[in-house]
Amino acid sequence: MTDKKQIAPASDGLLVRAPAKINLSLLIAGKRPDGFHEIETVMAKVNFYDEILIQPRQKADVELLCKGPYWAPAEKQNLIYRAAKLLLDSCGTLADIKITLTKNIPAGSGLGSASSDAAAALVGLNKFLNLGLSNTQLGKLAPQLGSDVAFFLDGPLAFCSGKGEKIKKIDENFNFLALLILPDVTVSTKKVYANYKHNSALYEKLSGQINSYIRKNRIDLVAKMCTNMLQISCFGLAKGLAELKAKIESLDVGPCCLSGSGSAMFCIIDSRDGQRAEQYKRKLEDKTGCKSVIVSNNRW
C-alpha cells in the first residue's frame, strides 16, 4: 500500500483521505476527576484510508451517504456530519454539499477511523468552501468532536496525553512497515475503559522508560516494548482476541500489539523488508483466517 495525497480533485468535488492510526504505546496514568482516564500514548498515522468525497448538491443543507466494506453510523450520528455542521455553524456559513464516505477501516477496531474521518471532513470542507481557516483554527473545533480528532489534524507521529487531545508532535522520522490484523470483532471503547483496573506501579515504570526513549528520539524502542495497558481489559471482554494474539505470535512474525482499545492488532516489520511482510501476511491469513493489511507510516 503506497502513500497518497490527503486531498485530490475528483469529478466535481474533492476526494479527502482519512488515515488510520496505531498506538505504538498506550499507558493509563489514572482516572481523572471528570471520570475520564488520563492517557499517554505515542500514535502514528498509517497509509490505510477511509475516503471522503465532497461535492455540491442542488438541495439545501448537508447530505451524508455511507458505502464501502464496513459499517458506519447514519447521518446525524456520524462524526463527519457533526464535523460539517459544527464547521459551518462556527463560520456562520450555509452550504449545499453532498458527502460520500467510503468506509475501508472497520469501526470499533482501535484505529481511530471516526476521529480521522471528522478531521478529514474539517480539512476538506475548509478547502472545498474556501473558508481559509488555519489548522490552529480547525483545532479549536476538535475537542467538541472527540479526543483523537486533534491528532489527525496534525501528526503524523505524536505523543498525546490528557484524554488524547493534548498533542506534542514528534519530528523524528520513524519509518516502518506493519502487518495490520483486522479481526471480525468489534470492541466497545467505553466498555474497555469501564473494565480497566489501574496498576499505578506498572504505569510509573513504563512511563519512565517510554519518556526516556522519546527524549532520545528512539521511537523504534518504544514500538518494540509493545505496551498497551488496555490489553488486559480488552481481552477480558473479547477472549478470542487473546487466543488470536497468541496464535499470531506462535507464527514467528514478532510481537503482536493491540492498537487503542482494540480489536485491531499489528506487528512491526523492518521498513525495508516488503518481501518478508508479504510472506507473513500470507502465513497469517492461511493459519488464522483473519484479514490483514500491510501498511507503513503515513507521511502527513
Q: Beta strand 13-31 with 227-228: parallel, antiparallel or unpaired?
A: parallel
Looking from the CA of 284 toward its CB, the CA atoms found within 13 Å total 28
Q: Is the peptide bond before 156 cis (omega within 30 degrees of 0)?
A: yes
**What are the pLDDT digits (tens) for 100-146?**
999 999 998 999 999 999 999 999 999 999 999 999 999 999 999 99
Q: Which domains does the chain have, with CATH numbers?
A: 7-169 (3.30.230.10), 177-296 (3.30.70.890)
DSSP H helices, the chain, are: 79-91, 113-128, 135-139, 149-152, 189-194, 200-215, 219-225, 231-237, 239-249, 274-288
- Termini Cα distance of the chain: 15
Q: Which residues are catalytic?
A: 21, 148
**What are the pLDDT digits (tens) for 152-183?**
999 899 999 999 999 999 998 899 999 999 99
Threshold 0.85, pTM exceeds: yes
- Look-up: residue for cell 490484523? 181
Confidence (pLDDT) at 64 = 97
**What are the pLDDT digits (tens) for 207-264?**
999 999 999 999 999 999 999 999 999 999 999 999 999 999 999 988 999 999 999 9
Residue 216 CB contacts under 8 Å (≥ 6 apart), including other chains: none
